[in-house]
Structure 1
Amino acid sequence: MSPSRLLALVAIALAVPASPAFADPHTEALPPDAVLQRFDGAAHVDDIATDIAVDPVTGIAVVAGWVGSSPGSYDIGAVAYAADGSHLWQRVITAGEGFGKAVGIDSSRGIVYVAGDHFTDASGTNYLVTAYSLAGVQLWQRRYDSGGGATIYGLRVDEPRGRVLVTGQGGSSAQTIAYSSTGQQLWVAQYSEPDRQVFASDVAIDPRDGSVYLAAAAGGSGTYGFRVVAYTADGVRRWVDGLDPTSASTSSATVLEVEPATGTVYVVGFVSRPHTRHDVVTAAYTPSGTRTWMVNYDGFGSADAPTAMVLDPRSGRIFISATSSGPSGEDYLTLAYGPAGALLWADRQPATENGDNYPTDIAVDSSRGRVFVTGQTRLDQRGLDYATVSYTVGGTYLGRSLYDGPPGGGSDTATALAVDPTRHTVWVAGRSQGDGGDEDWATIAYPG
């Protein structure tokens, strides 16, 4: 899953290539070359952006989320922007009620996938996956009814095999569905455990053979256990590993990635034990299911909860964003691990006295050696702002960009982040209160 930034870079080492221009941390103005787009649905009520994806060939960025149809009711929506930030098209699914959760792009086929939860009185809540061309033409739409209510938490595009996979919870089991690029349902896989609720929060694919991996949790009554579930490319379960919940601990796997050259599976989640609250837990598995290492990170001995991770294929490093409780409240925590599990660096930003700092997403520009983290911060009592921080992959802090929304508006929270690896544009999307009090989608493109 997930997520804003600083306006004129802090001076850094000469050998480091340029990054999007970030400015003084106390200015609200966007850089002059940044492009801001706001989307307000036809009903002019709350609209909430949840995810963003970028096509590396055309530079088109697509934002997905909730579009308000009336106060408290929503539809699934998507808005596309050109590489220069100009608006291209918008689509809203108005039949029933829906919550757009995730978006992915198959660049080689020019397909945009938007997934979410869709509710009708006749069938309850189902998975809904809609495919569009990059020009916004609907290609197909598929609804899946598990019979017990369903919620999507993750989407991943398998470009080598022309598939899209969605995962989440259907009834009391983790439910994963694979579709072809033409909309054919290829398989449905259910993972359940006796007398436990199971949900999957993320899905990843090994590009070499199409193996599928889930980050999941199993349990109930507030006590869950970390799970990693592996399937073949055809949806046959291969192995399961994890941590069992006890009366003294609970844990959950939340995000995962597959290293494309070796097939190593990296999983991030949390574990909570007495007197430590949440710790960030990171683990590595071989494709056959051997856990090669597992490490915990405990900041100040209080709560540390991961929100996103990204794998840098060039350096082999794993980067994690997390919320961490510090002396003055909640901070951004960014962690970097090597492929063998060594902690390479950790940084806390932005350490403001107000403490309302919550990162939501992380991305890497591998060719330029940059890491970006976005989310929200509160610099004073005016409300929340987008805040995006930037690092080198080696951990040098580069700066922060803020977005305060329109005059007279309220809180602004970045929810998702994506980097165009070709043009090096950094895209940030989120929810932003306008001067009327209702929330809009606010999307910012920071040129590379």
Structure 2
Amino acid sequence: MRLTVIGTGYVGAVHAACMADIGHEVLGVDLDPERIAALAAGRPPFFEPGLAAMLQRTVDTGRLRFTTSLDEAARFADTHFVCVGTPQLPDSGAADLRHVEAAVDGLAAQRTGRGDEPALVVGKSTVPVGTADRLARRLRVTAGHVDIAWNPEFLREGCAVQDTLRPERIVAGVRTAHAEARLREIYSPLTAAGAPFIVTDTATAELVKLASNSFLATKISFINAMAEICDATGADVLTLAGAMGADPRIGSRFLAPGLGFGGSCLPKDIRAFTARAEELGLGESVAFLRQVDEINTRQRRRTVDLAEQVVGGSFTDRSVAVLGAAFKPRSDDVRDSPALAVAEAVRRRGAQVRVHDPEAVDNARACHPALQFALDVNKACEQADVVLHLTEWPQYRDLDPAALATVVRTPAIVDARHTLDPDAWRSAGWTLRAPGRPRLG
């Protein structure tokens, strides 16, 4: 089939390449000519494992092309995936829908339907519940030959290609049998391989993404709240999490204590969900999400305070090495990165900070020019008074603590991600501290 993907950011670029890889002809559309030029040359504008090879392969076959013209997109296909961003509004927690509305209005203005069948606009952007219905009413006024559906994405950065090609579920929020049939045809290579295809109304489809992210955020913040209790009582949060996760009603996934969540999805999504519930007069139903957000943010302050204790109560004239800049491993995304928030807070308290990350140094430097950066772990840790382990890259887990002890000034480390082996590090002469594990101190 012929498809377009409107918006070639993280979701759009991955979706376009994967749809071309399973056999469709795809035209990616974006207003940024530099981004389009890079993608057309087979170069993704961000790091995502497996994407560069797939992008180059599908561009070379001719199944994937890119353009800045919405008019060309309308002439190319009659199924259009909208993958533009929905950032948080600067004056509230609500989602900014300007880019979604502009994409839908632009497609409607082109009268993209062919013959007797209407064009299908498929939203993949994360939006407040009720957005598809509102856009459908708007389209009835501006273009009577456009259908709308919602097909939320559930991508994990670092696993996005796999999540697209082998999804745990495909949710199709549709208003017509025509929309359902077309989406079933598009995704038939994936459903033939066993991917569940869940058909629902558009409101439920919108809610699935927001409810899922809110639940995951709640689970992460819950175990981090327990880490605070563990610090006060002498209990061990990792043992606690393991015992809780053994209960199949709870499960261990996302029950991992640490520095908390960041990135472009969970923080903004729970805030937008809360804002939308308040608009509906149902703020009390999700009031707990404000606590979830607060607990998550508090982990950053707690990590800074713990590190300050380790260096003797003051960061003044101290050298601090930070391992990790991306908000999670296998990504170069630094949006709302807990690691960089901690690094900046430590710098503001008077420390000299050097940051290392396997992939995200360039992005981090652009956003945080006051920090220092190193391309080598040893250089970042040279003469450090404390090392902060803030992003759980496997490269850091595999470090040789004995060798690193010869580089630092003081062998002290704060493992905010709970992935280092305490016995190995302490045997090599290190002081290791970790939130929620007071007995390590």
TM-score (norm 2): 0.27
Q: Pick the structure with more helix per residue.
A: 2
Larger radius of gyration: 2
Q: Pick the structure with more strand per residue.
A: 1
